[in-house]
Structure 1
Amino acid sequence: MLRHLFTLIWNRKRSNLLLISEIFFSFVVLFGVGAVVITTAKNYLAPHGFNYEQVWRLQVRAGQGLTMPRAELDDVLRQVKALPGVQTVALTSGNTPFIFNNNNSFFGYKDKQSPLTNVYDADDHYATAMQLQLREGRWFAPADDGSNHRPVVISQDLRESLFGNEPALGKIFTYSKPDKVTKPEDEFVVMGVVEKVRMESDFSAPISSLWKRLIPFDTTHWETANVLVRVAPGSGGLLQEKIARTVASVTRQWTTEVRVMNDERINRRRYTLVPVVGLAIIGLFLIINVALGLFGVLWYNISQRRAEIGLRRAMGATGASIGRQFLGEMMVVTTFGVLLGGLLAAQFPLLHAFDQPAQPYLLAIAAATGAVYLITALCAWQPSRLAAAIHPAVALREE
């Protein structure tokens, strides 16, 4: 039976080549959309590695042409922390979670180099404010004041890329600048390791991260200070107003802006979803057009083969066998298109394209294969029924 199907397909190779091409491109589109959707869904279901609930982002700006002495800023933060409803206050850099602000770099240890890494400044209270999950070591503490190297805490993925299976605590590494002289302030000592974090958006993959310790009571003058404030559940606008008044009480030249981190997460999620939804809509539109094209081509093929169908029926073939023949032909043609598309798609996991693991690509290949066979079967089902219903006398009389 299979050999007979191949013979029929070869005899109509010109029209079947068009069908194979349509199926191939359908597979490629479904694979691309499937890979994006599967990767996005996988990232969405993964833990963030920190707790953004009940965290506010407080941005304090000095007046135009002015700066904030660190000692005066620390005094303001102590007053904010003393407010009822405020649990923890942490000073950090401007690249807080879920906003469009990045600080990236590369790091090296011996002959190993890290991937692109997010770099954050953080004080001794940052881990408590963000509720980071420590795997090894500890967070920053006053005992680090006398350290000869810059104390840092790194994420688990950065630990794996730099140190592999070696112990990480106490190791010293630098920026990835092998052709330049390393400055003392560019040497970092690992104090702790935290779980992987996803601070870009709900749909982003974990990114290697590093937190550098902000030295307390330094002489730095700040133009803008970013503060993370963990508040008690149920805190709202009244506490925000108290925080703003507390900052303004130091000097009226400072301005204060309070943002809820969960609101920023939702805004970033909407922004990230736009291209994914757009891609899915375009893919759906293309698949619908391909399905309509397949349906039309099959319908046309049946109308052109009525004599063949009538002759087979006259020789004793049943309507069910005629229907199975047409459906079988379409499945064989589909297999050719899927094999060609699978050869192309297989290059993505083999080459680790876009720095993605193989699993999402393999799942996308499986999903695209199943979807193509399902679409083809649905398109071939009704024309196959029509072929099975043709009466031999009618078909032969028309010829």
Structure 2
Amino acid sequence: MFKHLFKLIWNKKKQNFLLITEMLVSFLVLFAVFTLMMYYYNNYKKPMGFDYQDVWVINYNNSYQTKNVDSLDLYYETLRKTIKSLPRVKEITFVSGNIPFSSRTNESGLTFRGKHVQHLNNFTVEDHYEKVMNVTLLEGRWFNKEDVVSKNQHIIIDADLKEATFGKESAVGKLLGNDDDKNKFKVVGVIQTIKRNGDYLKAGPGMYFRTDTGSFRWLDKILVKVDHGADAAFEGKLYKTMANYMKNANVEIEHLVNKRTDANYFALVPMIILAIVSAFLVINVALGLFGVLWYNINKRRGEIGLRRAIGATGKSVAAQLVSESMILATLALIIGTFFAAQFPLLNVFDLPAIVYIEGILLSVLFVYLLVLICSLYPGKQAAAIYPAVALHEE
């Protein structure tokens, strides 16, 4: 059976080569789409790591400049008490500019125990950051006043950095830093990785430093945890409070909920564009395959009529056309899978291998399903050809 089908395919190798090429291109495009979809889905399944609801961001430019550290701390501590005294404010914290869902980054690298960690995010936070963001503490503790005086600077790392450096070991109490650094950091806590880039993109490892006496010179953002019922009227009151206190500063208030929506939209744009291109390509391939099969039926009416005349059933004729299409798809998928398999083997784009494997499997299933659907109706039409009519036309 298969030997006969391969012989029929080989006799029309030029025409079938174009079909195989179309299926191959479709597979490669679908592989890119499904790989990106699985990458987004796997990231989406991970916990957010913090509570972004009812958290507002106050952006300001640091207009108060003084060489006296005590005066600087007093100025911003007074601002903290002023904002916190407002009726709908639960807690506030001063942070570095690379807040969640922000385009600002502060990245570095780290080589620890021979392992190189890239795109390491560095954050500067206060003791109040834990309450404002409601972070999930996995090991150890959060920052407190005891961290001011210590032989090694205390830090908090997230789960991604812990896995990249310490693996399954406990990280609390251990020193972390470049292998050639003498002054390493001491880990006092591990938190759930915060999805700072939105729901669909990988956050990357993070390291958190505690603010010191001179941090207010460059900090320019405040995170404010407000009541659930805080509205635009309260936002206006908060803005006036900031503007009256910081006379010469440019003040802007944003909501983390809205920033998350913007971050997700920005992440989905490439996916949407690729999906639209893929949809047009798949439709063209489906129409082309359907048309070629329809043309083949009309060209092979004599052959089909002869087979029916010598006893072939309509189901066997339909099965032959469907089988030919599935064999062509298999040939295309073998070639496409070979090229797609190079991505996880060569670690292209630094994605987990499982993402590529899932993309390959979904693409194979989709192409098979597409070919099956496109060949069923022409096969049904071929099965309905009467032997006498076909031979008479021939």
The TM-score, its normalising length taken from structure 1, stands at 0.92
User: Matches of 1:167 and 1:335 in 2, distance apart?
Assistant: 48
Look up the equivalent residue of 2:368 and give its one-letter code: Y
Look up the equivalent residue of 1:387 and give its one-letter code: A
Partner of 1:131: 134
Q: Map of 1:11-50 to 2, 5 A cutoff?
A: 11-50=11-50
User: Matches of 1:229 and 1:57 in 2, distance apart?
Assistant: 6
In structure 2, which of residues 211, 219, 234 is the aligned counterpart of residue 239 of structure 1? 234
What secondary structure sits across from 2:118 in the alignment? coil
Query: Over residues 96-147 of structure 1, what are the superposed CA-to-partner deviations in whole Å (9 max), with x where a residue is unaligned?
Result: 1112111111123242322311111101111111111111111110011112
User: Matches of 1:18 and 1:280 in 2, distance apart?
Assistant: 23
Deviation at 1:288, TM superposition (A): 0.4
Q: Tell me whether 372-381 or 350-359 shows the greater mean CA deviation.
A: 350-359
Does the CA-based 8 Å contact 1:107-1:173 persist in structure 2? no
User: Matches of 2:59 and 2:368 in 1, distance apart?
Assistant: 55
Deviation at 1:373, TM superposition (A): 1.0
In structure 2, which of residues 185, 198, 203 is the aligned counterpart of residue 201 of structure 1? 198
Partner of 1:270: 265
Partner of 1:260: 255
User: Matches of 2:66 and 2:147 in 1, distance apart?
Assistant: 31
User: Matches of 2:214 and 2:159 in 1, distance apart?
Assistant: 33
What secondary structure sits across from 1:242 in the alignment? helix
User: Matches of 1:211 and 1:145 in 2, distance apart?
Assistant: 15
Does the CA-based 8 Å contact 1:60-1:224 persist in structure 2? no
Deviation at 1:369, TM superposition (A): 1.2
Task: Give yes or no for the alignment of 1:380 onto 2:383.
Answer: no
Look up the equivalent residue of 2:367 and give its one-letter code: V
Gaps of 5+ in 2: none
Does the CA-based 8 Å contact 1:59-1:224 persist in structure 2? no
Partner of 1:174: 177
**Closer/same/farther in 2, CA of residues 70 and 220 from structure 1, 3 Å limit:** farther
User: Matches of 1:239 and 1:28 in 2, distance apart?
Assistant: 53
Does the CA-based 8 Å contact 1:95-1:101 persist in structure 2? yes
User: Matches of 1:221 and 1:137 in 2, distance apart?
Assistant: 27
Deviation at 1:191, TM superposition (A): 1.2
**Closer/same/farther in 2, CA of residues 92 and 223 from structure 1, 3 Å limit:** closer
Task: Give yes or no for the alignment of 1:306 onto 2:292.
Answer: no
Q: Tell me whether 286-295 or 107-116 shows the greater mean CA deviation.
A: 107-116
Look up the equivalent residue of 2:204 and give its one-letter code: I
Task: Give yes or no for the alignment of 1:156 onto 2:159.
Answer: yes
What secondary structure sits across from 2:304 in the alignment? helix
What secondary structure sits across from 2:53 in the alignment? coil
Task: Give yes or no for the alignment of 1:214 onto 2:217.
Answer: no
User: Matches of 1:220 and 1:374 in 2, distance apart?
Assistant: 59
The TM-score, its normalising length taken from structure 2, stands at 0.93
Task: Count matched residues.
Answer: 391
Does the CA-based 8 Å contact 1:71-1:219 persist in structure 2? no
User: Matches of 2:30 and 2:79 in 1, distance apart?
Assistant: 55
**Closer/same/farther in 2, CA of residues 175 and 74 from structure 1, 3 Å limit:** farther
Does the CA-based 8 Å contact 1:5-1:329 persist in structure 2? yes
RMSD between aligned alpha carbons? 2.1
What secondary structure sits across from 1:136 in the alignment? strand
Partner of 1:227: 222
**Closer/same/farther in 2, CA of residues 131 and 364 from structure 1, 3 Å limit:** same
Deviation at 1:219, TM superposition (A): 4.2
**Closer/same/farther in 2, CA of residues 357 and 62 from structure 1, 3 Å limit:** closer
Query: Over residues 314-361 of structure 1, what are the superposed CA-to-partner deviations in whole Å (9 max), with x where a residue is unaligned?
Result: 212122221111111111121111121122222223333212112222
Q: What is the aligned-residue identity percentage?
A: 38
Does the CA-based 8 Å contact 2:120-2:204 persist in structure 1? yes
Partner of 2:109: 106
Q: Tell me whether 149-158 or 40-49 shows the greater mean CA deviation.
A: 40-49
Partner of 2:78: 75
Query: Over residues 2-48 of structure 1, what are the superposed CA-to-partner deviations in whole Å (9 max), with x where a residue is unaligned?
Result: 23222222232232222222211111111111111121122223211
User: Matches of 2:377 and 2:371 in 1, distance apart?
Assistant: 11
